[in-house]
A and B are shown apart, each in its own frame.
Chain A
Amino acid sequence: MPINYYIFVSIALFCIGVVGVLTRRNAIIIFMSIELMLNAVNLLLVAFSKMHAANAGQVYNIGIDGQLFVFFIMVVAAAEVSVGLAIIVMMYRNTHSVDVNFLNRLKH
């Protein structure tokens, strides 16, 4: 499939993720949107990696760096989610809400 299609889908996913981060009030939904952004990027990396492999033909030292990098991103995402969810749990324990607008203690 032409690479454009992958790019469009990836951009769409990324933008949905950004808008989700900016507009949603529920902290867990915000996390979901962040994951969405990361996955959009993963998709793009894999697509480009396959594109380079397809264009190169039968040469033997093509790199599949893009696909390898996706693994790294997934690992980082997992770590980050664990930390983030721990924070949200603490937040809930203190304020009994996961509403982001509720937390404006940084104001002063």
Chain B
Amino acid sequence: MNQLVFLVPLLPLMGFLINGLLRKQLSKSMIGIIGSGVILASFIISLKLFLDVRNGHTGVVSLFDFISFGSVHIPFAFQVDQLSSIFLLIITGVGFLIHVYSTAYMKEEPGEHFGRYFAYLNLFVFSMLLLVLGANYVIMFIGWEGVGLCSYLLIGFWFRNNDYNNAANKAFIMNRIGDLGFLIAVFWLLAKVGSVDYNIVFAKATALKHPLATFDITAITLLLFVAATGKSAQIPLYTWLPDAMAGPTPVSALIHAATMVTAGIYMIARSNVLYTLAPVSQSVVAIVGLATAVFAATIALKQNDIKKVLAYSTVSQLGYMFLALGVGAYTGAVFHVMTHAFFKALLFLGAGSVIHAMQHEQDIRNMGGLKRFLPVTHITFLLGCIAIAGIPPFSGFFSKDEILSAAYESNKLYWIIGVITAAMTAFYMFRLYAMTFLGKFRGTSEQEHHLHESPSAMTIPLMVLALLAVIGGFVGIPEVFVKDGHSLERFLQPVFQKSYELRGEHPFDRSTEYMLMGVSVLVALVAAFAATGMFSRKPDLKEADGVGKVLANKWYIDELYDKVIVQPLNAFGKFLDAFIEKSGIDWLVNGVGKGVQYGSRQLRLLQSGQVGSYVLLMIVGMIVLFAIQFFLRK
């Protein structure tokens, strides 16, 4: 079965080619079937791969020699193991649901744009699959770049709007800044290890004789983390994610909630050996993750666009995942990736359903009371909110609790800030829920007329995701409840084994664990009820002022970046253009042209047609030749 792993990315690639090239000829239903069908097929193969891996059949499948020079050989190889198979399931499973949802959501698009959408979506899934399947950093980088590209294409999908194009540019450029870190890290690895293959690099890092120097490992891991901040929207490269909400909502669900933004997590989880060997990098990862989590949560408290709240929520939850990686809870991070994919995709698709019903209104101040009109959306959205708030027995509780207890183990301060963030998470999510679904409808009567539940192509994925968000946590029941209940940890053991060995095991106190759980659940419940109570009765309608204004304006970070980075760069560019480009290079290039013209004008005068001058020149030439020969002889 391992041999068929190449089909998993190949099928979406075929979908991309067919939908992309034949988008004008195919009917919309055909495009939808092809687009979703290939993902379903990939999901089925991924399922089989997962079962195989569960029985122990892991391995590396090499397809062909990709880059080869000197002693460096980089094959196009796929690594099928526990980590990649889990991610495969998430990507293809959630991806398939989102494809089905999109067939209904994007139905009003004209035929060729519909085809273009599905082509891009398939290309994205292909790139993401390459990223997680790659057996070396170069293949991962191909996927890494590919998802960045597709993110740009899909954010700017409605390309006639200039604001959306700017948002797409912003996303791509910030991604690229991170990619520089990735590239330098890859070159560093090639220089020090001579290979970018995972197994070889990790073996060299932990080798008994001549292992990689800690300085090298720290540098490489920090550079990789820079790439992760760009891709997974952490401080300082996170501002593209809220702006990326300009794209269609299913795109936000797939790319900016469930998959692309988790690429950074995957990369660090894959490189867990390197990070465990570089405690400095781990601290950096934890601190940046934690800071991002709390920072984004504060901003989300005062946002009024339904998608922006979810975007900042994503940034915050990603911060949690990086915190988990930074304290060594690798399983916890992957677990949270999984549960987050479920409930965040659910929330985004639910938001899409609301937006669809409200005819593209996105401001929650104009919503309210949608509970009556959109029953299925309401129930599933509520389930998603409960999951993200971390209230048991929903999935979010298990994964968040694992991260928080690992944080407590590492540094009590991490745990305190983590709990505060969890409180804020519950608060802003239930604020969103209350202002959207409870209370009285605050929109226009025209909008009220058109409110209706979404078609089944949209509600069925919502229901499936809601189910997963509810029961998804049971693969990771912590030790304190059920002995050996954490099947996910057992499953992922081989991938993270080396890190756990290097770190050393800490036995955990049962009562401490209960207390931690209790505190976080209590905090979440209190915040949730408080928010629901506050905002269902008196929605947050008035203009923010004071601290609220700062939060609503995202701490003015975009303005800061503009002043400090964008404007100086623009000015520098203008200066270079005026002096070096116009006066320097243009002068030189035009000067060559002018010189040639001048020279040719002068040379033309030789052709006078006068025979006498021709003879004179002949004789002069002869004399010169004689003179040269005379002096050479000497």
Contact A107 B608 (CB under 8 A): yes
Q: How far apart are the CA atoms of A108 and B611 in the complex, in Å?
A: 13
Is B619 close to A, CB under 8 A? yes
Contact A106 B612 (CB under 8 A): no
Is B599 close to A, CB under 8 A? no
1/0 per residue A24-48: CB within 8 Å of B? 0000000000000000000000000
Q: How far apart are the CA atoms of A101 and B614 in the complex, in Å?
A: 12
> How distant is A30 from chain B, measured CB to nearest CB, in Å?
8
Q: Which of B609, B615, B619 contacts A104 (CB 8 A)?
A: B609
Is A1 close to B, CB under 8 A? no
What chain B residues lie within 8 Å of A107 (beta carbons)? 607-609
**Interface positions of B from 587 to 609, Cβ below 8 Å from A:** 607-609
Is B191 close to A, CB under 8 A? no
Is A103 close to B, CB under 8 A? yes
Contact A100 B619 (CB under 8 A): no
Contact B608 A104 (CB under 8 A): yes
Is B632 close to A, CB under 8 A? no
| Band of interface residues on A | 10 to 19
**Interface positions of A from 69 to 108, Cβ below 8 Å from B:** 100-101, 103-108
Contact B609 A22 (CB under 8 A): no
Q: Which of B607, B608, B619 contacts A22 (CB 8 A)?
A: B619
What chain B residues lie within 8 Å of A22 (beta carbons)? 612, 615-616, 619
Q: How far apart are the CA atoms of A24 and B310 in the complex, in Å?
A: 99
Contact A100 B612 (CB under 8 A): yes
Closest to B623 in A: A18
Is A21 close to B, CB under 8 A? yes
Q: Which of B609, B612, B619 contacts A105 (CB 8 A)?
A: B609
Q: How far apart are the CA atoms of A97 and B611 in the complex, in Å?
A: 15
> How distant is B595 from chain A, measured CB to nearest CB, in Å?
24
Is B610 close to A, CB under 8 A? yes
Closest to B614 in A: A106
Number of B residues near A (Cβ < 8 Å) is: 9
> How distant is A53 from chain B, measured CB to nearest CB, in Å?
26
Q: How far apart are the CA atoms of A29 and B612 in the complex, in Å?
A: 13
Residue from A23, A101, A104 having most chain B Cβ neighbours under 10 A: A104
Closest to B619 in A: A18
1/0 per residue B214-238: CB within 8 Å of A? 0000000000000000000000000
> How distant is B338 from chain A, measured CB to nearest CB, in Å?
84
What chain A residues lie within 8 Å of B615 (beta carbons)? 21-22
Specify the main secondary structure of chain B where it touches its partner: helix
What chain B residues lie within 8 Å of A103 (beta carbons)? 609, 611
Contact A101 B616 (CB under 8 A): no
What chain A residues lie within 8 Å of B612 (beta carbons)? 22-23, 100-101
> How distant is B112 from chain A, measured CB to nearest CB, in Å?
58
What chain A residues lie within 8 Å of B611 (beta carbons)? 100, 103, 106
What chain B residues lie within 8 Å of A104 (beta carbons)? 608-610
What chain B residues lie within 8 Å of A106 (beta carbons)? 607, 609, 611
Q: How far apart are the CA atoms of A107 and B606 in the complex, in Å?
A: 9
Q: How far apart are the CA atoms of A104 and B609 in the complex, in Å?
A: 4
What chain A residues lie within 8 Å of B610 (beta carbons)? 100-101, 104
Q: How far apart are the CA atoms of A96 and B619 in the complex, in Å?
A: 29
Q: How far apart are the CA atoms of A15 and B355 in the complex, in Å?
A: 103
Q: How far apart are the CA atoms of A60 and B615 in the complex, in Å?
A: 44
Q: How far apart are the CA atoms of A22 and B610 in the complex, in Å?
A: 11
**Interface positions of B from 607 to 634, Cβ below 8 Å from A:** 607-612, 615-616, 619
What chain A residues lie within 8 Å of B619 (beta carbons)? 18, 21-22
Closest to A24 in B: B612
Q: How far apart are the CA atoms of A105 and B609 in the complex, in Å?
A: 6
Closest to A18 in B: B619
Q: How far apart are the CA atoms of A33 and B611 in the complex, in Å?
A: 15
**Interface positions of B from 164 to 193, Cβ below 8 Å from A:** none
> How distant is B630 from chain A, measured CB to nearest CB, in Å?
15
Q: How far apart are the CA atoms of A106 and B606 in the complex, in Å?
A: 11
What chain B residues lie within 8 Å of A100 (beta carbons)? 610-612
> How distant is B299 from chain A, measured CB to nearest CB, in Å?
78
Q: How far apart are the CA atoms of A106 and B610 in the complex, in Å?
A: 8
What chain B residues lie within 8 Å of A23 (beta carbons)? 612
> How distant is B601 from chain A, measured CB to nearest CB, in Å?
15
> How distant is A6 from chain B, measured CB to nearest CB, in Å?
20
Q: How far apart are the CA atoms of A103 and B614 in the complex, in Å?
A: 12
> How distant is B44 from chain A, measured CB to nearest CB, in Å?
80
> How distant is A41 from chain B, measured CB to nearest CB, in Å?
13
1/0 per residue B292-320: CB within 8 Å of A? 00000000000000000000000000000
Closest to A34 in B: B615
Q: How far apart are the CA atoms of A78 and B285 in the complex, in Å?
A: 99
Closest to B611 in A: A100
Closest to A23 in B: B612
What chain A residues lie within 8 Å of B609 (beta carbons)? 103-108
> How distant is B620 from chain A, measured CB to nearest CB, in Å?
10
Closest to A27 in B: B611
Q: How far apart are the CA atoms of A12 and B197 in the complex, in Å?
A: 87
- A/B interface sample: 20 pairs, CB < 8 A: A18-B619, A21-B615, A21-B619, A22-B615, A22-B616, A22-B619, A23-B612, A100-B610, A100-B611, A100-B612, A101-B612, A103-B609, A103-B611, A104-B609, A105-B609, A106-B607, A106-B609, A107-B607, A107-B609, A108-B609
Known: A18-B619, A21-B619. 15 other contacts (CB 8 A): A21-B615, A22-B612, A22-B615, A23-B612, A100-B612, A101-B610, A101-B612, A103-B611, A104-B610, A106-B607, A106-B609, A106-B611, A107-B607, A107-B609, A108-B609
Interface residues of A (CB under 8 A from B): 18, 21-23, 100-101, 103-108
Per CB-CB distance, the 5 closest pairs between chain A and chain B, nearest first, are A107-B609, A104-B609, A106-B609, A100-B611, A22-B616
